[in-house]
Amino acid sequence: ETIGREMAVPELLAAIDADRPFYDQSGGGVTFSGGEPLIQWRFLLAMLEATRAKGYHAAVDTSGYATERTVLRVAAATDLFLYDLKVMDPARHAAFTGVPLAPILRNLRALDAAGAEVWLRLPLVPGHNDDDANLEAVGRFVGGLRRTRRIHVLPYHRIASAKYERLGLANPMSEIASPTTGEIERAVAVLASFDLDVRVGG
């Protein structure tokens, strides 16, 4: 069964234009997310160029898993990256996400060096990446970047469970509880100790 529908650039741009009064009033813009938008980087780049020509603010919500060349090409047409960091240990990252960590960190360094606007996001998942060792590793890495300092802690929640049910799939994280207020505050404190601009949610 196919979910969603294919759209060409003009068709998607027309759908965005239909909401222009909302963007103009709110000061918002367009966010390209997924899945992973960098997988379809040619289409993404065409959309970024089209939205920029119309004066829209454009954000790309990404895991950063792509080639450096792709990331920098997309950066040239992007106003803001919402960039995930999950686990800083390479073996744990591969087990948790299914992809290597090195390209993600390399691309983050490249964006930072290029002067891109990047808001980092740390999905806080109890028992998977909320330990002090991981939080400190995130803090050290981000603290070593030249200009990127903003990081959003995103507490894990079970909202996606309904999507799994609709698709008839088993949710591999169904037994994980959301972090407590104390666990969130501890994570914020650890990250803030590295002189980062730490926010919850967003």
Phi/psi for 173 (5° steps) reads: -115, 25
DSSP H helices, 19-129, are: 20-26, 41-53, 68-75, 90-97, 102-114
Q: Which two tokens stand for residue 131?
A: 């330990």
Contacts (Cβ under 8 Å, ≥6 apart) of 151: 85, 119, 120, 121, 122, 138, 142, 191, 196, 197, 198, 199
Predicted local distance difference test score (pLDDT) of residue 168: 63
Predicted local distance difference test score (pLDDT) of residue 36: 95
Whole-prediction pTM: 0.89
Predicted local distance difference test score (pLDDT) of residue 202: 82
Predicted local distance difference test score (pLDDT) of residue 174: 58
Residue 164 has pLDDT above 60, yes or no: no
Residue 77 has pLDDT above 60, yes or no: yes
Predicted local distance difference test score (pLDDT) of residue 35: 85
The mean pLDDT value for 38-60 works out to 96
Q: What is the pLDDT of residues 111-120, one digit of tens each?
A: 999 999 999 9
pLDDT band with cut points at 50, 70 and 90 for residue 149: very high
